[in-house]
Amino acid sequence: MGDETREADARVEAQVNQDVLIMEQQRQIEEEISEAIPLVGAKEDLSATLEKEYISDPIYSMKVKDLSSKYSSIRRTRPDGNCFFRAFAYAFFERLLTNKDEYKSFYDIVSKSKDELIDLGFPQFTLEDFYDTFMEVVERVGSGEMAQEELYELFNNQGQSNYIVVYLRLITSGKLQKDADFYLNFIDGNRTMTAFCHLEVEPMFKESDHIHIIALSAALNVGVRVRYMDRGDSTQVIAHDFPEGTTPAVHLLYRPGHYDILYEL
């Protein structure tokens, strides 16, 4: 091998290591920013907190006004790529603390989910790890003894909070793969649904798109209303219901790249 090639090769290798270093640094910066925000925050007065946030922004201020005609409070979640799943779980579990009927039908669905996922080819050994933690939390929620504060603490405990997110990701992946014929219409590129799930659904910290929301809400039979707040012309904050036509049990606020929890007036 000539010296030139060797040098070129050395450069390629150095380049790769630079890429690794840059990625690590970027991840560290992102982590530092996101760790400054709790996994799930306290309930805040919606108009007070958002009006302050957008005081010098006329478009958003108008939308905050519209939003506060429908919602009283907001609960923020950490922007770590898991915010949709964490916000969904917190809002729904909070509702289940006092809603026995919905709890029962939810419990029936999730207690069967493990076998369904194993049938779809998920490895039993690692799946069980997440299922067991998830069900422990679900049973505690349905015990009738759980106070709001306990739920709040549990969702701010990284271990339990993240395991809940992982299991919801697996349920979402299971639904997408089970009904792949339908959901394939919504994904870009020439890839299989299984490949999509491995890349975009199952790994932690991967952000959610419409398709994740549709699949999770359909799998659990839980209606989700998302309010979209962006720079669009409308003075209203547009609502989308998932699955279409259902009564929402969970209300979320979407601002580009992030989901928080909303509470109706």
Stretch binding other proteins (CB under 8 A), from 34-42, 47-55, 123-131, 142-150: 123-131
What is the closest distance, in whole angstroms, from the C-beta atom of residue 261 to other proteins in the complex? 22
* Burial of 242: CB neighbours in 10 Å, binned 0-12, 13-18, 19+: buried
What is the closest distance, in whole angstroms, from the C-beta atom of residue 23 to other proteins in the complex? 6
Residues 219 and 15: their CA atoms lie apart, in Å, by 44
The binder of other proteins chosen from 19, 53, 115, 230 (CB under 8 A): 19
The DSSP secondary structure of 17-32, one letter per residue, reads HHHHHHHHHHHHHHHH
Is residue 162 part of the contact set for other proteins (CB under 8 A)?
Answer: yes
What is the closest distance, in whole angstroms, from the C-beta atom of residue 256 to other proteins in the complex? 18
Q: Count how many residues are written for the chain.
A: 265
Helix (H) or strand (E) holding 132: helix 124-142
Is residue 202 part of the contact set for other proteins (CB under 8 A)?
Answer: yes
Is residue 158 part of the contact set for other proteins (CB under 8 A)?
Answer: yes
Is residue 255 part of the contact set for other proteins (CB under 8 A)?
Answer: no
Instruction: Please state, in angstroms and as integers, the Cα–Cα distance from residue 20 to each residue in 7, 13, 205, following that order.
Output: 20, 11, 18
The binder of other proteins chosen from 191, 211, 238, 255 (CB under 8 A): 191
Kindly report the backbone phi and psi dihedral angles of residue 72, in degrees, each rounded to the nearest multiple of 5, phi listed first.
-95, -35
For other proteins, the closer of residues 9 and 119 by Cβ is 9
Is residue 140 part of the contact set for other proteins (CB under 8 A)?
Answer: no
Give the DSSP letter of residue 47: H
For other proteins, the closer of residues 102 and 202 by Cβ is 202
For other proteins, the closer of residues 163 and 259 by Cβ is 163
Q: Computed from CA positions of residues 66, 70, 72, 73, in that sequence, does the dihedral angle turn out positive or negative?
A: negative
Q: Are 105 and 221 in contact (CB under 8 A)?
A: yes
Q: Are 75 and 95 in contact (CB under 8 A)?
A: no
Residues 44 and 263: their CA atoms lie apart, in Å, by 10
Is residue 84 part of the contact set for other proteins (CB under 8 A)?
Answer: no
Is residue 98 part of the contact set for other proteins (CB under 8 A)?
Answer: no
Stretch binding other proteins (CB under 8 A), from 89-97, 163-171, 179-187, 222-230: 163-171
The binder of other proteins chosen from 47, 99, 133, 156 (CB under 8 A): 133
**Catalytic annotation, residues:** 80, 83, 258
What is the closest distance, in whole angstroms, from the C-beta atom of residue 203 to other proteins in the complex? 5
Q: Computed from CA positions of residues 82, 152, 53, 213, in that sequence, does the dihedral angle turn out positive or negative?
A: positive
> Which residues sit at the interface with other proteins, rule CB under 8 A?
1, 9, 12-13, 16, 19-20, 23, 27, 122-123, 125-127, 129-130, 133, 158-160, 162-163, 166, 170, 189, 191-192, 195, 198-200, 202-206
